[in-house]
Structure 1
Amino acid sequence: MTAPILITGVGKRVGFYLAQHLAQQGQRVIGTYRRQYPQLQQLDALGVELHQCDFNHASQLNELLTTLKQQPAIRAVIHNASDWLPDGDADTAIAIIDKMMRIHVSIPYAINLALTEQLKANNSMADIIHITDYVAEKGSKKHAAYAASKAALHNLTLSFAAKLAPKVKVNSIAPALLMFNPDDDEQYQQKALKKALIAKEGGEVEILNAVNYLLQSQYVTGQTLKIDGGRHLV
């Protein structure tokens, strides 16, 4: 049996897209999700092994890791699970940044350490891929806690790349605008599009292409692939 790819947060958007298309490519996929979504039935039909896990609960995380450590080997871990909370006031500041750091830093850190032996046991090179964000380098006026946590996740990429080489490659993918939300109005969309040289939604396929590139590479580690339409030049 081939070693699986673990993807966190497969219930919607990018995580769902990655799980769906990697499974269709013939990869064996394990996915985690926090709550039920109708589209999870599509992943189940494709043979994706699904585990419900709320990463805010230590007991659920421990149970998940116990199950995953029974795998003889793991081909890759893709840390996609995320949350996007706006900054609050002094009364909510600690709670917000704690939540952002937990989902974007503490959980990937714990999973990487827990599954190190399974990754190293893969027949060929294994991969850890952190989905970070364009704002990890730029910061954010309204989502400072989120941006800080994604910057910390990028730093984990550097540390784990050095720690796990040469058997495990560790890289980041840093997207900007991939797709609008259904409730984003026209004014917001036009304002957002003007922030990039390529003024359009990138789409989930850009992340899939980046993931496939990293999985196929035998010589890239400790790097960040920026999927941002050239925002840094605007």
Structure 2
Amino acid sequence: MSKSPVLITGVGRRIGLALALDCLAKGYHVIGTYRTSYPELVKLKDMGAELYQCDFQYPEQVSQLIDAVSAKHTSLRAIIHNASDWLPDSKNREDDLSTIQQMMNVHVNIPYHLNLALEPLLRAYPDGIADIIHITDYVAATGSKKHIAYAASKAAAENLVLSYAAKLAPEVTVNSIAPALIIFNAQDTQAYKEKALSKSVMAREGGVQEILRAIHYLLQSEYMT
């Protein structure tokens, strides 16, 4: 396994945590970011993960992350943009701009910044083709009546992928994964689950393993972009 690390954003819980654990188990050196400290992060540290607390709503924290990674590493195997937030649209007109700004920061502005700033490390990957993977969302193509800002930001992220794929080829491949229902939250009610499942073609949760398989497929491909 290459010593060049995989940078995964949002490793504190859910898909990000599962992905970080899986990559560590497969022998990757993992750099992980998290906004909020969770007990599960202790296990990641014990397994050797390099962790940085970084709130994407604060650009100075992102700059510190970039400086730290650039100072410590000479190359990157991959950047996986997993960090996400799911805010409903505000019913208060004064909060509308805040909601869309938060969604754009975490799903578009900071990934854009990280891709640009860490491009030299990706191009310096010595063992083949490096990767950027954005985890977006099915609603990028369908929209959402209650999460308009969220859906719009994920659609913008999809376009970001197209631009970076053209810009960074052939040394770096850039792809997105746009899942629908993967896993419910612990606080989701039974009524909400039933309503969500009624909209699903597969009528069930996809499960974290579906995302992990998709990501490792992309990491192994040297042509898809």
**1:142-221 equivalence runs, <5 A:** 142-221=146-225
Partner of 1:7: 8
Q: 1:177-222: CA deviations, max 9, x gaps?
A: 111111212221111112122111111111110000000001100x
Structure 2: runs of 5+ lacking an equivalent: none
**1:35-46 equivalence runs, <5 A:** 35-46=36-47
Partner of 1:232: none
**Which residue identity lines up with residue 44 of structure 1 in the other structure?**
K
Partner of 1:74: 76
Q: 1:110-166: CA deviations, max 9, x gaps?
A: 000000000000011000000100100000000000000000000000000000000
Deviation at 1:5, TM superposition (A): 0.2
Q: How many equivalent pairs are there? A: 221
**Which residue identity lines up with residue 96 of structure 1 in the other structure?**
T
Task: List structure 1 runs of 4+ shifted beyond 2 angstroms.
Answer: none
Give the structure-2-normalised TM-score.
Answer: 0.96
**1:23-62 equivalence runs, <5 A:** 23-62=24-63
Q: Does 2:125 match 1:122?
A: yes
Deviation at 1:79, TM superposition (A): 0.4
> Tell me, what secondary structure is at the counterpart of 1:92?
helix
Q: 1:65-102: CA deviations, max 9, x gaps?
A: 00111211000000011111000132211110011001
**1:108-119 equivalence runs, <5 A:** 108-119=111-122
How far apart, CA to CA, are the structure 2 residues paired with 1:173 and 1:17?
A: 16
How far apart, CA to CA, are the structure 2 residues paired with 1:92 and 1:98?
A: 10
Structure 1: runs of 5+ lacking an equivalent: 222-234
How far apart, CA to CA, are the structure 1 residues paired with 2:21 and 2:129?
A: 23
Identity score, percent: 56
How far apart, CA to CA, are the structure 2 residues paired with 1:188 and 1:85?
A: 17
How far apart, CA to CA, are the structure 2 residues paired with 1:135 and 1:32?
A: 25
Q: Does 2:86 match 1:84?
A: yes
RMSD (CA atoms): 0.9
How far apart, CA to CA, are the structure 2 residues paired with 1:98 and 1:185?
A: 29
How far apart, CA to CA, are the structure 2 residues paired with 1:197 and 1:98?
A: 32
Give the structure-1-normalised TM-score.
Answer: 0.93
How far apart, CA to CA, are the structure 2 residues paired with 1:185 and 1:96?
A: 24
How far apart, CA to CA, are the structure 2 residues paired with 1:16 and 1:132?
A: 17
> Tell me, what secondary structure is at the counterpart of 1:119?
helix
> Tell me, what secondary structure is at the counterpart of 1:156?
helix
> Tell me, what secondary structure is at the counterpart of 1:175?
coil
How far apart, CA to CA, are the structure 2 residues paired with 1:87 and 1:107?
A: 21
How far apart, CA to CA, are the structure 1 residues paired with 2:10 and 2:104?
A: 16
How far apart, CA to CA, are the structure 1 residues paired with 2:180 and 2:105?
A: 21
